[in-house]
């Protein structure tokens, strides 16, 4: 019998923990021929989340709990959950039921038909602020402009993933995993599963601006070294400006325009020129650092999906 593992991170989710367990369990019981496990990760909540999870685990052997010593963040919690899964397919979802568990049976069909990653793509988002929608849009646009891999827009971490893909992710040595980027980066047969993202059933978002900025930074800097190259462009612009000023100054002396204060030319030229040279040098160092950074991530150069006659 095939087994499904559900991974659910929780940070101060005492208001939704039980309801989350019930809804997920109902769905999983309704689909026959599959065994299942639910792995909850308590990401250092100091409310009753852990107590509730402990009780659930006492009464139901299918519930497994990982509890962090402190708050390490959503991505770390999901990463930890993925290490402990034992199922053939793994589903990652939020605790607040914004990603409806009722979609699981349908997603499973795509998995049975040969897809390895079925990622949730939000075609509608209910109950989310204009600010959240706007920042999300700006983030995904920027990320896609900068990044070397295509990271699908309007997707979060809600997805069903085949165990072999989870194994690849687990074996990546890099820390600070930006999961939705990596799941896209690893390839395999992917399916964009469109769904309507619901409102949080209770409680408030656990993603304040500070955490969103950290996530955005992880996403951009771990998938792109382009920011390092931007300083190169600034340096070139600066040098060009210094040349323009110099030409202007020479002309003004030659034709006796007499409009320049003494010292202005030398000051401006030196400043812009040196500024430019410094920025260009920084960019060159940046190119090396970028390469060192790529190497330290130790991502494999390729991932083999299957071999034949080997």
Contacts with Mg ion, residue ranges (CB under 5 A): 94, 96, 98
The minimum distance between CB 91 and Mg ion, in angstroms, equals: 16
Q: Which has the closest alpha carbon to 194: 145, 97, 123? A: 123
* 122 binds ligand UDP per the rule CB under 6 A: no
- Interface with ligand UDP by CB under 6 A: which range of 9-17, 24-32, 221-229, 252-260? 9-17
Q: Which is nearer to Mg ion, 98 or 155 (CB)?
A: 98
- Rounded Cα distance between 107 and 210, Å, is 33
9 or 181: CB nearest ligand UDP: 9
* Sign of the CA dihedral with 115 first, then 116, 120, and 123 last: negative
Q: How far apart are CA 66 and CA 224, in angstroms?
A: 32
CA dihedral 90, 92, 97, 98 (to 10 degrees): -130
**First and final C-alpha spacing in the chain:** 29
Choose the one of Mg ion, ligand UDP, none that binds residue 16, judging by a C-beta under 5 to 8 angstroms depending on kind: none
Cβ(69)–Cβ(35) below 8 Å? no
- The closest of 75, 67, 73, 65 to 39, measured between CA atoms, is 65
Options 6, 53, 74, 185; binder of ligand UDP; rule CB under 6 A: 74
How far is residue 82's CA from residue 76's CA, in Å, rounded to a whole number? 10
Tell the smallest beta-carbon distance from residue 129 to Mg ion (Å). Answer: 12
Q: Which of 37, 39, 43, 87 binds ligand UDP (CB under 6 A)?
A: 43
CA 208 from chain centre, in angstroms, equals 16
Residues that bind ligand UDP (rule: CB under 6 A) add up to a total of 16
- Measuring CA to CA, how many Å separate 280 from each of 117, 230, 251, 283, 294? 42, 10, 28, 5, 21
98 vs 242 by CB, closer to Mg ion = 98
Q: Choose the one of Mg ion, ligand UDP, none that binds residue 77, judging by a C-beta under 5 to 8 angstroms depending on kind.
A: ligand UDP
Binding-site member from 5, 6, 9, 56 for ligand UDP (CB under 6 A): 9
In terms of CB distance, is 74 or 163 closer to ligand UDP? 74
* Residue with smaller CB distance to ligand UDP, 7 or 279: 7
Distance between CA 7 and CA 40 in Å, rounded?
A: 6
Restricting to residues 167-226, name those near ligand UDP by CB under 6 A.
Answer: 205-207
* Pair 156, 215: CB distance under 8 Å: no
Instruction: Describe the chain by its helix, strand, coil percentages, rounded to 5.
Output: 50, 15, 30
Residue 178: is it exposed, middle or buried by C-beta count within 10 angstroms (0-12/13-18/19+)?
A: buried
Q: Is residue 101 at the binding interface for ligand UDP, with CB under 6 A as the rule?
A: no
Residue from 25, 98, 222, 224 that binds ligand UDP (CB under 6 A)?
A: 98
User: Shortest gap between Cβ of 211 and ligand UDP (angstroms)?
Assistant: 6
Report what 11 binds from ligand UDP, Mg ion, none; CB cut-off 5-8 Å by kind. Answer: ligand UDP
Segment contacting ligand UDP by CB under 6 A, of 93-101, 115-123, 174-182, 253-261: 93-101
Q: Residues in the site for ligand UDP, rule: CB under 6 A?
A: 9-11, 13, 43, 71, 73-74, 77, 94-96, 98, 205-207
């Amino acid at each position: 019998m095939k087994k499904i593992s559900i991974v659910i991170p929780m940070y101060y989710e005492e208001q939704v923990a039980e309801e989350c367990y019930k809804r997920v369990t109902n769905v999983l019981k309704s689909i026959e021929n599959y065994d299942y496990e639910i792995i909850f990760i308590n990401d250092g909540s100091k409310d009753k989340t852990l107590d509730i999870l402990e009780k659930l685990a006492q009464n139901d052997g299918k519930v497994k709990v990982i509890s962090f010593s402190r708050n390490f963040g959503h991505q770390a919690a999901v990463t930890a959950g993925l290490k402990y899964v034992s199922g053939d397919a793994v589903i990652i979802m939020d605790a607040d039921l914004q990603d409806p568990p009722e979609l699981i049976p349908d997603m499973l069909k795509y998995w049975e038909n040969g897809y390895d990653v079925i990622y949730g793509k939000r075609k509608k988002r209910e109950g989310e602020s204009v600010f959240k929608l706007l920042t999300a849009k700006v983030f995904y646009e920027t990320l896609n402009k900068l990044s070397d891999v295509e990271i699908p827009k309007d997707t979060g971490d809600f997805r069903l993933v085949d165990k072999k893909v989870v194994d690849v992710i687990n074996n990546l040595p890099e820390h600070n995993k930006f999961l939705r980027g990596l799941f896209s980066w690893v390839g395999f047969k992917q399916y964009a599963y469109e769904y309507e993202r619901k409102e949080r059933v209770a409680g408030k978002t656990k993603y304040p601006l500070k955490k969103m900025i950290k996530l955005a930074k992880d996403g951009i800097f771990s998938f792109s070294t382009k920011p390092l190259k931007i300083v190169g462009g600034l340096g070139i612009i600066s040098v060009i400006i210094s040349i323009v000023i110099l030409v202007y100054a020479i002309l003004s002396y030659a034709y006796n325009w007499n409009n320049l204060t003494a010292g202005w030319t030398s000051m401006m030229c030196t400043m812009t020129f040196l500024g430019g040279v410094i920025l260009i040098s920084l960019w060159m160092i940046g190119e090396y650092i970028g390469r060192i950074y790529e190497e330290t991530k130790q991502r494999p150069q390729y991932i083999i999906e299957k071999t034949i006659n080997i």
